[in-house]
Amino acid sequence: MRRLFRRRPKAQFFYRTDYLPGSLAWHPKATELRMDRGLRVAESLLEEGLVRAKELRFPQVASWEDLRAVHTQGYLESVTSGTTLQRIYGLGPDDALPSEEVFHSQRAQVGGTIEAALSVMRKESPIAVNLGGGFHHAFPDQGGALCVLNDVAAAIARLRQEVIANGTRLRFAIVDLDFHEGNGNFRFFANDPEVFLFSYPGHTLGPEAAKLHPDRSRVRVWPTGSQDSEYLAALREELPRALERFRPDLIFYLAGTDGLAGDPLGDLSLSLDGLLERDQFVIEEARRLGAGLVVTLAGGYTDGAREAVLRMARWIFHGFAERAEPGWAVRRRIRRMIERVGSLRPGKRVAESPLDASEDPTGEPGSPGWSAGSLDEFLDGDRARRLFLGHLTRSGVELWLEQFGVLPRIRRQGYDSLRVEVETRDPEHERVRVFGRPLFPRLISRLEGVSGRKNPTERTLLELVVRRASVEQWVFLQVEWLLLQNPDASFSSHKPPLPGQRHPGLGVAVEVQHALVALCERLGLDGVGSFPSHFHSASVASEWAFFLDSRAQHQLRILQDRFRDLPLAEASQRMEREELGDFVGSLQVLPVSQAMKDYFLSSAYRSG
């Protein structure tokens, strides 16, 4: 067995530290559930020397495009708030649940399943294991039973998008051996002729199985207390027959371990040896058929669940399931590696680890900078202050920027791997930043002469600082600072720099304006205000905004008329030199509420 297995390519494992929603793992209602299975397996794989850096992959968080491909826009908007997630996790309205951390955790795991599937289809390895995922209870428009997002559906949608250009048709099989019925997958793929559903649940969650096509599914419900012998005998008989008939290109294996005897959410009586035989059989069947295999962990909430996954991983790498004590040379190499990597526990910064959740800690729940102390502060403090303008989580801000075209437009400017950062601790200066990397980082790094830097190509592309403000009867969103820049573009004679500009703009000002107006409408504010620091800023904004002081508005119109024959950049430079106009420092407001619109159109304003 060992000699045979060494000839096979090794599998790839996918994991990142923010798979673990630490606050949920410590929640009083989850004390009997071991939520840290993926983390503990990753630690053990490193400690035993089973995984090297190139075999442990750090996936990207699933993009909003990937999520929108399978979930409705309304549902995605709802899960950025805590109420929907509390329902999905079976918690009451009084149960504290940091929604941002939980949603980010599932989104990261969806990214792991997507990248695992892509790696298999690109022939990087025949097997890819995501140390998370398996969210088979998530529907297109709702979640349930701890599942917010459906990772397998998102991965299949992404794979289809990847191969659509060459006309290839892929066939998929979902082998779901979790204790619970994958009703979300049943809903997604009941009418899909290119997906076969194989499920062995011990518990059903609804009528979805009755809608499955009999030629594209096999569902068998197991009674309470079912043991290894009967379960494995049926699996050996039915799975090969089903897969042989369907001939999938790729198999998604939901290797749930909640069928293990004693699991608090299952009532089967499978043993660790039985689960290992099950996993071996599925893996060997995929190999026999020549199909790629993506493994996700799905359910499993005991210490035995971690051991079951670890035994499967050992067997994949070595052909035997028990831990082998390494020799002195191997132990020394592992000790040096662990000293270099550092602790993998949440709340500690992992300086050089491929498991690291971010190259720049954000201090948000789920990031490496998030600690137990900051978690207590989050739970006990004023939760509204942790939301952007008391309304949006970090994921909500990202969705907001996606929805109004800001992030898509930035991508079209040549940036990817966009990262959104939100700071809300100071209510007078709530901040949103967007970072991105150029699509050609090696070339740019070479041109810059960059070497030895950990992250040389990430750029600050957008920075927005806002606060709620009021003047007289008006309450508005005041923009304290707005930076929109393309650091990799150059000025030209046709597009010279404006006063105060270090880099050309991003071309997203209109999209940002629409996003701010929509946010004001949602918050019930009268408008979007700012204090323009340059003539060009006030002049461009005057197409839709008015100075609250009508005298400043009148003076701006006089200056615009005076410089109407000059390019805007030259006119603004003249203004800087001659120091004309005292409208700088006056409040300019884009009206949103009907009352403020009526005010700017009134005779009282025009004659003021």
- Residues noted as catalytic: 137
Question: By three-state DSSP, how is residue 128 classified?
Answer: strand
The amino acid present at 182, given as its one-letter code, is: G
Q: Return the CA Rg of the chain.
A: 28
Which residues neighbour 46 within 8 Å (Cβ) at sequence distance 6 or greater? 56, 334, 337, 338, 341, 344
Rounded CA-CA distance 205/388 in Å is: 37
Query: Which token pair is 143?
Result: 């979640």
Alpha-carbon gap, residue 481 to 537, rounded angstroms: 12
**Rounded Cα distance, 96 and 562, in Å:** 60
Query: Which of helix, strand or coil describes residue 390?
Result: coil
How distant is the alpha carbon of residue 268 from its chain centre? Answer: 34
Burial class (CB in 10 A: 0-12, 13-18, 19+), 518: middle
Structural contact between residues 520 and 591, judged by C-beta atoms closer than 8 angstroms? no
Tokens of residue 493, six digits: 């004679």
Its sign, for the CA torsion 149, 155, 158, 164, is negative
CA–CA dist 231, 512 (Å, integer): 57
Q: Which of 82, 81, 38 is nearest to 59 (CA)?
A: 38
What would the two tokens of residue 459 be? Answer: 């750029």
Please state the separation of Cα 310 from the chain's center in Å. 26
Cα angle value 36/38/41 (rounded, 5°): 105
Q: What are phi and psi of 249, to 5 degrees?
A: -80, -35
- Per the CB < 8 A criterion, the answer to whether 369 and 363 are in contact is yes
Taking CA atoms, 433 is separated from 404, 420, 594, in Å, by 16, 6, 31
Q: Which residues pair with 527 in a beta bridge?
A: 591
- Give the DSSP letter string of 160-224: HHHHGGGT----EEEEE-SSB--HHHHHHHTT-TTEEEEE--SB--SGGGGGS-GGGEEE-PPPT
Residues in the chain: 608
Neighbours of 543 (CB within 10 A): 7
> 306: exposed, middle or buried (C-beta count within 10 Å: 0-12, 13-18, 19+)?
buried
Q: Which residue has the tokens 């950062």?
A: 421
